[in-house]
């Protein structure tokens, strides 16, 4: 997962709360916010799963999040 995919997934899942969650919510597994964790070198995918766990996102909405829909030919 790239950072852009992470941001897209967070926006899709949390909408207007996305910026607040990534800036203010401290993820216990990293001891810092999602943005701080990614800035420190933690993989966006790992941060996404930690954020999902902390925010009780159902498992079925965690995988494949942030990917663009394939273009139709």
pLDDT at 64 > cutoff 90: no
User: What is the reported pLDDT for 19?
Assistant: 94
Instruction: Please say whether the beta carbons of 66 and 1 come within 8 A.
Output: yes
Instruction: Read off the pTM.
Output: 0.86
Q: 27 - beta bridge partners?
A: 32
């Amino acid at each position: 997962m790239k950072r852009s995919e992470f941001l897209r997934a967070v926006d899709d899942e949390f909408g207007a709360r996305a910026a607040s969650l990534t800036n203010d919510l401290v993820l216990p597994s990293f001891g810092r916010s999602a943005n701080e964790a990614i800035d420190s070198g933690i993989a966006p995918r790992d941060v996404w799963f930690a954020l999902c766990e902390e925010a009780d996102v159902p498992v079925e909405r965690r995988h494949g999040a942030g990917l663009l829909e394939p273009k139709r030919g």
